Amino acid sequence: MTSRPTDATPVEDVQPRFRPYTAKSVEPWEEFAHDRARCPVARNAELEAVQVSTYQGVKEVLAASQTWSSALGNIWPLKEPLPPEEQVLGWADPPRHTRQRKLLVKALSASRIQNMRPFSERFADDLIDELADRGSFEMYGDFAARMAAGHVCELLGVPEGERDEYARSAQRMEELVTETMDGRAEGGYGAELNEWLDYLSGMIRAKRAAGPGSDDLITQLSFAQVDGDYFEVGEIARVIQLVNVAGIGTTIGAIGNTACLLDRYPEQKARFLSDIEGLALSLASESLRFESPISGLWRTCAKPTRLGDLDVEPGEKAFAVISSGNHDPLVFDRPDEFIIERDWANLPTDLPFGQGIHFCVGMNLARLEIQVAAAKLYQRMPGLRVRPGFEPELVPGAVLRRFKTLEMVFDAPALPRRT
């Protein structure tokens, strides 16, 4: 490893160039390179937060959960802690976070998710069958969102007849969260959320009434006990809501970003098309590194600390720029090039999923979905490409890196499914 370049200018005097609100860029790599090299830890006036940009720095902030609280939001820079009932998982600190997380880890373990592969492949094929004769589709609404929501439904055990409606509502709730994400949200997102929580609560009561026999996630949450007590229905509903928010928008982003990257790097696409099965996992890893759908996460200082050369006081915000960490040349060679065949056995693949106690419990599922989506789409639609002339527009804000819509075309009809 080489060390960071040094510069005569004191770190505090160098302003970060990352400006996600006023100048969000499809290619922010030079800005990130500047910030990592010249001001790896610095106050960013636009973010009103301490910005942390290196791979190591991002990991350290996310790992230091006692210093850096999540109870004032990880995707919103809130001024006050969320009301206690809204503090779930990624929006909670220990001990509340710890007992909720325990419930999810088993349900989303690597072996259980591997068992979902046949479902995943069948589901992707079903979605492609519906598009097969069209020659064009919108990546998020017509494919990626349905793929992501369908997997969440399967995991949760949403009754078959309710899945389409569930997927629409879950996606709507995810969009609402996204809209308020960087808008200095006051917390909560209104009447629609309450209606949705009522619906989820009804489903939980029905699962409780049906008994503990099923191994779907809602049944498991419904019958889990801590110190002899069941979880309250309201708390389970909020855990499920967070699983929706965490599991849908991110995966949509990853599937769409992968398609866009293959378009922007035709030689990599040609390589992928030459060995789709063999390269699908490696493609997913590189896509997540190059265009992490979660570009960065908020934290709030809980006790006085020193970060880089800065003294930080309780209440101050930090923004850990995951996308920048993933382009750190101290960790990845040629970091600003999209190279689907990297030596993943010797490279980290975890940063897109966070670090420490909040590390993504859905990572295995996400990686399965991205691989299956890419493999099925390009096997059956080898000419799949972004519609010529269409200029994708990034969603606003600091947290997400994905597009608002993504118009795709292919040479209809799609090839038939293999199984």
Two structure tokens written together for 416: 């038939």
Build a one-symbol-per-residue string for 118-157: x at contacts with ligand HEM by CB under 6 A, - elsewhere: ----------------------------------x-----
Q: According to DSSP H, which parts of 228-383 are helical?
A: 233-264, 266-274, 276-290, 322-325, 363-380
Give the integer Cα–Cα distance in Å for 249 and 75. 12
Query: If residue 311 lies in a helix (H) or strand (E), which one and from where to where?
Result: strand 310-312
For ligand HEM, the closer CB: 246 or 260: 246
- The three-point CA angle 263-266-271 to 5° equals 115
Binding to ligand HEM, residues 278-317 (CB under 6 A): 293-294, 297
User: Of residues 251, 257, 258, 326, which one binds ligand HEM by CB under 6 A?
Assistant: 251
Number of residues this chain uses to bind ligand HEM (CB under 6 A): 27
**254 is a site residue for ligand HEM (CB under 6 A):** yes
Residue 304 to residues 61, 80, 314, Cα–Cα distance (Å): 13, 18, 6
User: Of residues 247, 256, 296, 335, which one binds ligand HEM by CB under 6 A?
Assistant: 247
Q: Of 9-17, 31-39, 238-246, 275-283, which segment contacts ligand HEM by CB under 6 A? A: 238-246
Give the integer Cα–Cα distance in Å for 121 and 119. 6
Residues near 297 by beta carbon (within 8 Å), at least 6 away in sequence: 62, 74, 75, 319, 320, 322, 354, 399
Give the integer Cα–Cα distance in Å for 58 and 299. 11
**352 is a site residue for ligand HEM (CB under 6 A):** yes
User: Of residues 59, 101, 207, 317, which one binds ligand HEM by CB under 6 A?
Assistant: 101
Helix axes 233-264, 163-181, angle to 10 degrees: 80
Q: According to DSSP H, which parts of 27-144 are helical?
A: 29-38, 55-63, 96-107, 110-114, 117-131
197 residue type, one letter: L
Binding to ligand HEM, residues 43-72 (CB under 6 A): 62, 70
For ligand HEM, the closer CB: 42 or 243: 243
CB of 372 to ligand HEM, least distance (A): 13
CB of 159 to ligand HEM, least distance (A): 18
CB of 106 to ligand HEM, least distance (A): 13
Q: Sign of the CA dihedral 259, 178, 325, 51?
A: positive
- Give the residue closest to ligand HEM by C-beta: 362
For ligand HEM, the closer CB: 89 or 128: 89
User: Of residues 57, 90, 296, 335, which one binds ligand HEM by CB under 6 A?
Assistant: 90
**218 is a site residue for ligand HEM (CB under 6 A):** no
DSSP character string of 174-227: HHHHHHHHTTT--S---HHHHHHHHHHHHHHHHHHHH-TT--SHHHHHHH-EET
CB of 21 to ligand HEM, least distance (A): 20
Two structure tokens written together for 332: 């990845």
Query: If residue 300 lies in a helix (H) or strand (E), which one and from where to where?
Result: strand 297-301
For ligand HEM, the closer CB: 81 or 354: 354
Q: Of 123-131, 189-197, 362-370, 399-407, which segment contacts ligand HEM by CB under 6 A? A: 362-370
Residues near 289 by beta carbon (within 8 Å), at least 6 away in sequence: 326, 332, 349, 351, 352
CB of 2 to ligand HEM, least distance (A): 27
Q: Sign of the CA dihedral 264, 266, 268, 269?
A: positive
Q: Of 30-38, 170-178, 245-253, 342-350, which segment contacts ligand HEM by CB under 6 A? A: 245-253
CB of 194 to ligand HEM, least distance (A): 21
For ligand HEM, the closer CB: 87 or 305: 87
Q: Is the Cβ–Cβ distance between 47 and 319 less than 8 Å?
A: yes
For ligand HEM, the closer CB: 49 or 132: 49
CB of 327 to ligand HEM, least distance (A): 15
For ligand HEM, the closer CB: 72 or 254: 254
Residues near 349 by beta carbon (within 8 Å), at least 6 away in sequence: 285, 288, 289
For ligand HEM, the closer CB: 28 or 354: 354
Residues that bind ligand HEM (CB under 6 A): 62, 70, 74, 89-90, 101, 104, 152, 242-243, 246-247, 250-251, 254, 293-294, 297, 352-354, 358, 360-362, 365-366
